[in-house]
Amino acid sequence: MSKRSLVLPYRPCAGIMLLNNKGKVFVARRIDTDTEAWQMPQGGIENGEDPKVAAIRELEEETGITQADIIAEYQDWLTYDLPDKLYGKVWKGLYGGQTMKWYVMRFHGEDSDINIKTRHPEFSSWRWVDMNDLQEIIVPFKRDIYKALSEKFYYLTE
C-alpha cells in the first residue's frame, strides 16, 4: 500500500471476468479515455450491498448482459493505487484506488445480447480476447490484478 492510499481510502468494487463458451474473455474500451486501454466490467459496491449482487448488477448496467452465472470467485480482495495523474481526480476525488472482489462468470447468451449503449454508457466498443492477451491491452496500473486473475482462472478457458 502506498503512502498516498493512507490519505484517500480505497473504493470497494466488484469485478467480472466474463467468459464465453469458447473460453474468451470480454473486454471493453472505456468511453472516457482516448487511449486504447481496455478493461473487464467492474463497478462500485453500494453501502451494505453483497459483492456478488454488485457484480451481477454492474454487469447488467454496463453491458445489458443478464444471461451469465458465477462459476468462480477470487478469494482475496485485490487492490490497486491510482497513478499520480488520476489521484484525487476520479470518483470525485474521494478514493486513491480500488479494492476489488472478482468473480468469473460464464456468458450463456449470444453476442447480439450485449448492449454497451446503456442508459449511462461507460464503453465505446467491446470484444472477446484470449486470457493470455489481457495484460497487454490493460492500463498499466491494473496489470498486476489481471495477471493474478489470469494465473488463477486460466484453467477455465481450456
CA distance 135 to 124: 20
CA distance 117 to 15: 20
User: Is 43 inside any structural domain?
Assistant: yes
Least confident of 25-39, 63-77, 140-154: 25-39
User: Is 68 inside any structural domain?
Assistant: yes
Amino acid 37: pLDDT = 81
User: Is 158 inside any structural domain?
Assistant: no
Mean predicted confidence (pLDDT) in 96-114: 97
Mean predicted confidence (pLDDT) in 25-42: 89
CA distance 64 to 61: 6
Query: What domain range is 99 assigned to?
Result: 3-153
CATH of the domain at 48: 3.90.79.10
User: Is 60 inside any structural domain?
Assistant: yes
User: Is 104 inside any structural domain?
Assistant: yes
Amino acid at 127: R
Confidence band of 3 (pLDDT split at 50, 70, 90): very low
HEC string of the chain equals: CCHHHHHCCEEEEEEEEEECCCCCEEEEEECCCCCCCEECCEEECCCCCCHHHHHHHHHHHHHCCCCEEEEEECCCCEEEECCCCCCCCCHHHCCCEEEEEEEEEEECCCHHHCCCCCCCCCEEEEEEECHHHHHHHECHHHHHHHHHHHHHHHHHHC
When divided into structural domains, the chain yields a total of 1
Confidence band of 102 (pLDDT split at 50, 70, 90): very high
User: Is 41 inside any structural domain?
Assistant: yes
User: Tens digit of pLDDT for each residue in 140-150?
Assistant: 899 999 999 99
What's the whole-number average pLDDT of the chain? 92
User: Is 119 inside any structural domain?
Assistant: yes
**pTM of the entire structure?**
0.92
